[in-house]
Amino acid sequence: MYRFLLISLTLLTVQNTVSAQDSIYGSYKNQVFTNLLLPILSSIDLNYERTLGGNFAIGVGGAIYGDTFQDLSFDDSYRAGELTTKYEITPFTRLYFNGNQNNSHILEIFGSISGVEESGRYIRSVNPEGFGVYDIGVKSFTRGGFGMGYAYRFLFMEGKLVAEAQLGLRTNFDVSFVVVNAALVRTGIKIGYRF
């Protein structure tokens, strides 16, 4: 009986200590964050996330990619031309395995809308005489995609400062092909602020 009482008292103390630590951090519903590696590649991104439940959040991210990022990308061949992704908008949902108020493993599912330029392709134009002429040039278009990612999040400064390590893979879609190719996006070391 004495052992049972001692174990119960110990468990109750541990539970109260954990609950007290959670209440110190508070309950933050919003988060903004950016990828620290993209400025090195002459690119930038910004993300906003809103917590909807204990383990669930939604958000949207935007990125503008520079030439250095394009040099490292393997998402650069398409038919006979060369692709350059200029910008990308990614709505996402996240599932936090340890809860969104704690350090946690994260599973992320996201969509993608990206602005792309294809160089080295034949483009039809009409000359002054009214005849159709084909020249090699650049065509801009928008394409969609779908992806998944995994991350781990650390909380600092009473849960207000966020650091994440993330890996994400996106598949692109086109009207003429179901799946064109895949690209490594939403990957890197991210830092943010919760409020």
Q: Distances from the Cα of 33 to the Cαs of 16, 177, 191, in angstroms?
A: 32, 34, 5
What is the CATH architecture of 27-194? Beta Barrel (2.40)
Q: Distances from the Cα of 143 to the Cαs of 149, 161, 177, in angstroms?
A: 20, 34, 11
pLDDT tens, residue by residue, 154-182: 999 999 999 999 999 888 876 555 555 67
pLDDT score of 152 more than 70: yes
pLDDT score of 83 more than 90: no
pLDDT tens, residue by residue, 89-100: 999 999 999 998
Name the pLDDT band for 85 (thresholds 50, 70, 90): confident
**pLDDT, position 122:** 79
Share of the chain above pLDDT 90, in %: 43
For the chain, what is the mean pLDDT? 82
Q: Are 85 and 70 in contact (CB under 8 A)?
A: yes
Q: Is 180 left (phi over 0), alpha (psi -120 to 50) or beta?
A: alpha
Give the residue extent of every domain in the chain.
Answer: 27-194
